[in-house]
Amino acid sequence: MASIELSLTEEQRALRAGVLEICKRYPGEYWRDLDTRREYPDKFVTELTEAGYLAALIPQEYGGAGLGIREGGLILETINYSGGNAGACHAQMYIMGTVLRHGSEAQKREYLPKIATGALRLQAFGVTEPNSGSDTTKLQTTAVRTGDRYVVNGQKIFISRVLQSDLMLLLARTTSVDRVKRKTDGLSVFLIDIRDLKGFEVRPLRMMMNHSTNALFFDNVEIPAESLIGEEGKGFHYILDGMNAERILVASDSLGDARWFIDKAVAYSNQRVVFGHPIGANQGVQFPIARAHVSTDAAQLMRDKAAALFDAGQPCGGEANMAKYLGAEAAWEAGNACIDCHGGYGYAEEYDVERKFRECRLYKTAPVNNNLVLAYVGEHVLGMPRSY
C-alpha cells in the first residue's frame, strides 16, 4: 500500500543536502549570466551528472542509483529552490523511463549505463509539431521502414536541449491515420543518435526564458531500424506511460520555484521599510505571500501523494496531473506575490526575481498546458464527457 511520509527520511535529507552543496557553487550570477546569453548551464549539469544525481531513477543494474520518483522530484525541487533552473536537465529523468519500460534488454544494456555516467546525454524529447500542437495523434512527422532503416521526414517545434544531447527520443507516425483503427495507433517511438545525422537540421529559438529550445527539420533522415523502441505503432501508448513521471517531476520543479519566491518575498517584505514600517506588516503585501504559501503546501501534499502512489506501482494519473496543475499555479501565484512585494526591484535583473518569474511561467503551458490537465481530470477522474 502507498503511504505518504510527511517528513523526509534521513537518506532523503542527505540527498537534498548533497544537491544543495552543488547548487551553492552556482549562485544567481551564474544563472543570470547564462540567461542573458541564452547559454546552457553545461558546468552545472556536468557536475550534477558526475555526482550521479541525474541517474537517480536508473536502476542499479544499469548503473544508476535506483531511487524512486519522490527522490527524483526532491533533486529537481532542490535545484529550483536554490535559485537554479532544473529545466536544463529534468527531462533525462523522465525520458529514460520510456527506454527502461519499453526498450529491449539490448537497448537498455547499450544505453542506460552510458546515460548514467554522462558518456551519452539523453535530454531531448521530440513530440510537439507546428501543425498538431497538443493534439499529438495528428503529428505529421513520418518514419517509413525501408529495409534495415527508417526514413524520417517532417518538422518538430519547441524541442529543448537538442544541441546538448547525443540521443533524442522521437515520436513519429509509422502508419498513416487512415490505415489504423484508432488514431492513437500507428505512432512509434525511436531512440536516435543525433550526432552527425544527415538531413537533420536544428534551428535554435530565442524563447522568453533560457531553455535551449529549437525547431527541428527532418529531410529524408535515415535511422537504423534498431532505433525503434518496443513495438512499431505502439509509441503513443509508451509515451502516455511516461506521463505520470513527467507530471510529478515537473510539479517538483514548480514547488522549488514557489518556495524560492516565498522565501525571497518574506525576507524582502520583512526588511523593506516604507511609511515607517516593514512593508510585510501591510495585509496587502503579507496576505498574497501567505496565500501562495498555502497553495504551495497543498500542491506539495498532492505531489507527495502522486509520488507515493507512483513508487508503490499504483495508478496515479489523476494525482500526477493534479500535482502538476497545483504546482505550476502555486509557483505562478508565489512569483506574482514576490514580484509585487519587490516593487520596482522585482523587475531588476540582479534580484533574479524576474528571471525566476519567466522560468516558472513555462509550467502552466508545458509539457502539457493546464487546460488539458483540467480536461483530463474532468474526463478521467470525474467521468464527464470528453471536452475536446
Footprint of ligand FAD (CB under 6 A):
125-128, 133-134, 158-160, 207, 211, 213, 362, 365-369, 371, 375, 388
Shortest Å distance, C-beta 341 to ligand FAD: 27
When the beta carbons of 34 and 368 are compared against ligand FAD, the nearer one is 368
Query: Contact at 8 Å (CB) between 213 and 158?
Result: yes
When the beta carbons of 136 and 300 are compared against ligand FAD, the nearer one is 136
CA angle 107, 89, 38 (to 5 degrees): 130
Helices (H), the chain: 10-24, 28-37, 42-50, 69-81, 90-102, 105-117, 235-271, 283-311, 317-341, 353-361, 370-376
When the beta carbons of 126 and 318 are compared against ligand FAD, the nearer one is 126
When the beta carbons of 133 and 224 are compared against ligand FAD, the nearer one is 133
Shortest Å distance, C-beta 220 to ligand FAD: 22
Shortest Å distance, C-beta 242 to ligand FAD: 12
Go through the chain and tell me how many residues it has.
388
When the beta carbons of 100 and 168 are compared against ligand FAD, the nearer one is 168
Residue 146 CA to residue 130 CA, distance in Å, equals 26
Residue 102 CA to residue 239 CA, distance in Å, equals 10
Shortest Å distance, C-beta 60 to ligand FAD: 28
Query: Contact at 8 Å (CB) between 94 and 366?
Result: no
When the beta carbons of 202 and 366 are compared against ligand FAD, the nearer one is 366
Shortest Å distance, C-beta 256 to ligand FAD: 18
When the beta carbons of 22 and 243 are compared against ligand FAD, the nearer one is 243
Q: Give the list of residues 6+ apart from residue 370 with CB closer than 8 angstroms, or none.
A: 324, 325, 328, 329, 364
CA angle 265, 266, 271 (to 5 degrees): 100
Q: What angle, rounded to 10 degrees, do the helices at 235-271 and 317-341 form?
A: 30
Shortest Å distance, C-beta 128 to ligand FAD: 3
Work out the burial of residue 385: count CB atoms within 10 Å of its CB; fewer than 13 is exposed, 13-18 middle, 19 or more buried: exposed
Q: Which residue has the cell 500535482?
A: 323
End-to-end Cα separation, the chain, in angstroms: 35
Instruction: Report which residue type is found at 115.
Output: I
When the beta carbons of 293 and 364 are compared against ligand FAD, the nearer one is 364
Shortest Å distance, C-beta 375 to ligand FAD: 6
* Long-range CB contact pairs, 172-175, < 8 A, 24+: 172/139, 172/141, 172/142, 172/143, 172/235, 173/139, 173/140, 173/141, 173/142, 173/143, 174/142, 174/143, 174/144, 174/145, 174/150, 174/232, 174/233, 174/235, 175/232, 175/233
Q: What angle, rounded to 10 degrees, do the helices at 235-271 and 283-311 form?
A: 150
When the beta carbons of 127 and 320 are compared against ligand FAD, the nearer one is 127
When the beta carbons of 135 and 231 are compared against ligand FAD, the nearer one is 135
User: Closest residue (Cβ) to ligand FAD?
Assistant: 133
Shortest Å distance, C-beta 270 to ligand FAD: 34
Shortest Å distance, C-beta 207 to ligand FAD: 5
Shortest Å distance, C-beta 378 to ligand FAD: 10
